[in-house]
Chains A and B, each alone.
Chain A
Amino acid sequence: MLEQPRYRFLIQQYKNRIYTYSLYMLKNKMDADDVTQEVMIRIWKNIDGFNVFAAKTWIMKTTHNLCIDYLRKRAVALNRELEINELVEESVKTDRSEENPYLITHIKIMASKVKEAIQRLPENLRSVFVLYEIQGLKYKEISKALDMPLNSVKVYLLRARKKLQEELKGYEA
């Protein structure tokens, strides 16, 4: 099925977005894997009636809804925190290897702290923040994906930024 050009295009375009969003929302690699897989299968099932122009919103909405389902299911087992440090190595660009080792370590630690702080944000703020700041969605797209009024998106984003700042207070240089 991945041979089908339309499907392949969508998967190539959105696989990292789906995975990143799931990872930030669920804070657990295994669950993020499951959600990503499920979203991809849903895209495949709906591929015939798919409006490619509305794909981004549809995909993020589906991902968000699945993440919420997962969060509800495992509300009891919240202590399975994601080992975010595992992912730091992958996300920090390798082309900085020639720079000062102290600086690299500092960047890694800071990036790790920021990611952790994002994950500590309340669920409603986190979803808006990740979609806007990391996934680069517009206010309108977030509003559609999360079924939320446009003004709420703006308010949540502002609150998320404030909350993140509070979380990072101790790490400021």
Chain B
Amino acid sequence: MKRKRIFDLTDEQKDKIISAAYGNGSLSDRLIVRRLIFSNEEAEKFYLSYKHTAAEVKQIAEEECPSDILKTVQYETKRALENKGSFLSDLYSAVFSRPIVSAVTTVVLIASIVIALIVNRPVQYNYTQAQIIDANRQAREAFLIVGKILKETHATLQNDVLGERVSKPLNQSIRIANKLFEGEKK
């Protein structure tokens, strides 16, 4: 029988042996490990020790989840479902479980109502009879002044602007045009 040689394994060889012992590693790695095991006693010992542990590890089954956990979860979820979905309960919890939120909301609401009332309040004027008469008189005077200005403007337009600056040049141009027509007839 051929005696196996003993030599130190490199870290890389050891890693490959460990992977192979746990059933991992590529096919080529496994072949390398196989050859190593057959040729090296140290490799074989190393491989077997890991292989033994790997077998023990593979035997470990998952632990069974206790049934009381499921019961508790079922109870919790059922209770949450019962508390969920009601508008009134949501409102109740929003208002009473968070007093700061409800207090802020109330303050904002009251403030906005007060501001709205102040801004939209109808204006009321209280004048005395003398103030009204005085205002009427002032208005009449103002209208008189405006009327006077309008009359003066009308007269100026009629006499100066239309007569002197519009009618006169218009007549002159018509006369020139007539002369031209007469000349052509001759």
- Say whether B50 contacts A16, CB under 8 Å: no
Q: How long is the Cα–Cα vector from A154 to B181 in the complex, in angstroms?
A: 117
- Say whether A41 contacts B77, CB under 8 Å: yes
Q: What is the chain A residue whose CB lies nearest that of B24?
A: A157
Provide the residues of chain B in CB contact with A57, threshold 8 Å: none
**Residues of chain A in range 1-41 having any CB-CB distance to chain B below 8 Å:** 1-2, 11, 15-20, 23, 33, 36-37, 40-41
**Size bracket, chain A contacts:** 35 or more
- Say whether A135 contacts B62, CB under 8 Å: yes
- Say whether B73 contacts A2, CB under 8 Å: yes
- Say whether A2 contacts B74, CB under 8 Å: yes
Contacts A11-B70, A111-B56, A172-B49: A158 and B18 contacting too (C-beta < 8 A)?
yes
Interface 1/0 per residue, A138-173 and B, CB below 8 Å: 000000000000000000001001101100100011
**Size bracket, chain B contacts:** 20 to 34
**Residues of chain B in range 48-103 having any CB-CB distance to chain A below 8 Å:** 49-50, 52-54, 56-66, 68-70, 72-74, 76-78, 81
Contacts A19-B65, A20-B63: A37 and B73 contacting too (C-beta < 8 A)?
yes
Q: How many residue pairs between the two chains, A and B, have CB atoms under 8 Å in the bound complex?
A: 91
Q: B residues touching A (Cβ–Cβ < 8 Å)?
A: 15, 18-19, 22, 49-50, 52-54, 56-66, 68-70, 72-74, 76-78, 81
Provide the residues of chain B in CB contact with A16, threshold 8 Å: 62-65
Q: How long is the Cα–Cα vector from A33 to B71 in the complex, in angstroms?
A: 12
- Say whether B65 contacts A1, CB under 8 Å: no
- Say whether B65 contacts A18, CB under 8 Å: yes
* A137 at interface, CB cutoff 8 A: no
Q: How long is the Cα–Cα vector from A2 to B73 in the complex, in angstroms?
A: 9
Q: How long is the Cα–Cα vector from A20 to B62 in the complex, in angstroms?
A: 6
Q: How long is the Cα–Cα vector from A17 to B53 in the complex, in angstroms?
A: 22
* A133 at interface, CB cutoff 8 A: yes
Q: List 23 A-B contacts (CB under 8 A).
A: A1-B74, A18-B65, A19-B64, A33-B69, A36-B65, A37-B76, A40-B70, A40-B73, A41-B77, A87-B63, A90-B63, A90-B64, A114-B60, A133-B58, A133-B60, A134-B57, A135-B62, A158-B18, A161-B54, A165-B18, A165-B50, A168-B53, A173-B52
**Residues of chain A in range 106-143 having any CB-CB distance to chain B below 8 Å:** 107, 110-111, 114-115, 118, 133-135
